[in-house]
């Protein structure tokens, strides 16, 4: 099973760019890298997903080097509302096409005014 | 509105009682999942189902049971065999047919054993 390692916590200030790096040394050839955001007492919410190089959407960017053993979630100009737990997941495909996702402890991002 | 609903939001149970948590989705998703989350921890997979009338155990299935009689519904029963059931329970669903599809989560049920 692919396992991920990410920092337990990070602090930032409003308006700064935040980069959260995740290590996944045992990533398999067919695995995608997915990031979720979770606020207290809510279910996680999908942020971004990628396979290689760079992916960007309206919320974040995801940078994946050629060896795919790590990835970096970049949040531009964070605000107080970005304070949350961020999970890096590497898909663990089971028989069939549905992914079985392994959630670690995540990174608690605290944005300060 | 399309989405996933879970009920109840809060649930209290006496020791030795079975309790069933509801999960319904109208996203037309084939796959559904149940996770458990303890304070300060990540999510752990209890059971998942890829199609109606079929389901598989996740990492911590002991003391839990599920059914998948309809595509829209995936109820979870917490039995008296679950020794430490107090936790936040999350249901999710996803489409099938693509590798590592996005999972959509419900609002969760917080279960407390008295």
Instruction: Give the A-side interface with B, CB within 8 Å.
Output: 30-32, 34, 41-46, 49, 87, 91, 93-94, 96-106
* Residue B22 backbone dihedrals phi, psi, to 5 degrees: -95, 145
Around B6, how many Cα atoms within 13 Å sit in the side-chain half-sphere? 27
Mean pLDDT for the stretch of residues A36-65: 94
Whole-angstrom distance, CA of residue B79 vs CA of residue A14: 46
Q: Which of A6-15, A92-101, B10-19 has the highest mean pLDDT?
A: A6-15
For chain A, helix (H) and strand (E) counts, in that order, are: 0, 11
* B39 contacts on A by Cβ (under 8 Å): none
What is residue A104's predicted lDDT score, i.e. its pLDDT? Answer: 78
What is residue B11's predicted lDDT score, i.e. its pLDDT? Answer: 93
Per the prediction, chain B carries an average pLDDT of 91
* Residue A80 backbone dihedrals phi, psi, to 5 degrees: -60, -30
CA–CA–CA angle A65, B93, A96 (5° rounding): 70
What is residue A103's predicted lDDT score, i.e. its pLDDT? Answer: 78
What is residue B103's predicted lDDT score, i.e. its pLDDT? Answer: 86
Collapsing DSSP to helix, strand or coil, A80 comes out as helix
What is residue A31's predicted lDDT score, i.e. its pLDDT? Answer: 82
Mutation choice for A interface testing from B35, B43, B110 by most A CBs within 10 A: B43
What 3 state SS string does chain B have? CCCEEEECCEEEECCCCCEEEEEEECCCCCEEEEEEECCCCCEEEEEEEEECCEEEECCCCCCEEECCCECCECCEEECCCCCCCCEEEEEEEECCCCCCCCCEECCCEEEEEC
* A97 contacts on B by Cβ (under 8 Å): 96-99, 101
Per the prediction, chain A carries an average pLDDT of 88
* A105 contacts on B by Cβ (under 8 Å): 40-42
What is residue B99's predicted lDDT score, i.e. its pLDDT? Answer: 57
Number of other residues whose CB lies within 10 A of the CB of residue B62: 10
Nearest to B33 by CA among B108, B113, B110, B87: B108
Task: Check whether B102 has a pLDDT greater than 90.
Answer: no
Mean pLDDT for the stretch of residues A57-61: 95
Nearest to B77 by CA among B69, A87, A80, B85: B85
Nearest to B44 by CA among B89, B5, B10: B89
Does the distance separating the beta carbons of B98 and A87 come in below 8 Å? no
A66-103 residue pLDDT tens: 999 999 999 999 999 999 999 998 875 544 444 566 77
* A100 contacts on B by Cβ (under 8 Å): 45, 48, 58
Contact between B11 and B111 (Cβ < 8 Å)? yes
Q: Which residue of A has its CA nearest to B49?
A: A98
Contact between B96 and B50 (Cβ < 8 Å)? yes
* A34 contacts on B by Cβ (under 8 Å): 100, 102
What is residue B1's predicted lDDT score, i.e. its pLDDT? Answer: 58
Rg (CA), chain A: 14
Nearest Cα of chain B lies from the Cα of A54 at a distance, in angstroms, of 18
What is residue A32's predicted lDDT score, i.e. its pLDDT? Answer: 85
B21-74 residue pLDDT tens: 999 999 999 999 999 999 888 899 999 998 999 999 998 999 999 999 999 999
Nearest to A42 by CA among B11, B86, B71, B43: B43
Does the distance separating the beta carbons of A105 and B100 come in below 8 Å? no
Whole-angstrom distance, CA of residue A2 vs CA of residue A14: 33
């Amino acid at each position: 099973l692919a396992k991920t390692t990410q920092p337990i916590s990070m602090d930032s200030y409003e308006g700064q760019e935040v980069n959260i790096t995740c290590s996944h040394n045992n990533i398999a050839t067919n695995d995608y890298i997915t990031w979720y955001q979770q606020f207290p007492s809510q279910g996680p919410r999908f942020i971004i997903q990628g396979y290689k190089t760079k992916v960007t959407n309206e919320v974040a960017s995801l940078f994946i080097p050629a060896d795919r053993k790590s990835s970096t979630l970049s949040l531009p100009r964070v605000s107080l509302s970005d304070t949350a737990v961020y999970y890096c997941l590497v898909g663990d495909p089971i028989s069939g096409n549905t992914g079985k996702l392994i959630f670690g402890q995540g990174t608690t991002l605290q944005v300060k005014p | 509105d399309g989405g996933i609903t879970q009920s109840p939001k809060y649930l209290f149970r006496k020791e030795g009682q079975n309790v069933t948590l509801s999960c319904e989705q109208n996203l037309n998703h084939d796959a559904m999942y149940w996770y458990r989350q303890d304070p300060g921890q990540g999510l752990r997979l209890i059971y998942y189902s890829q199609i109606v009338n079929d389901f598989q155990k996740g990492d911590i299935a002991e003391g839990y049971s599920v059914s998948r009689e309809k595509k829209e519904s995936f109820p979870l029963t917490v039995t008296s065999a679950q020794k430490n059931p107090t936790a936040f329970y999350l249901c999710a669903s996803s489409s099938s047919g693509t590798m590592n599809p996005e999972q959509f989560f419900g609002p969760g049920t917080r279960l407390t054993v008295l």
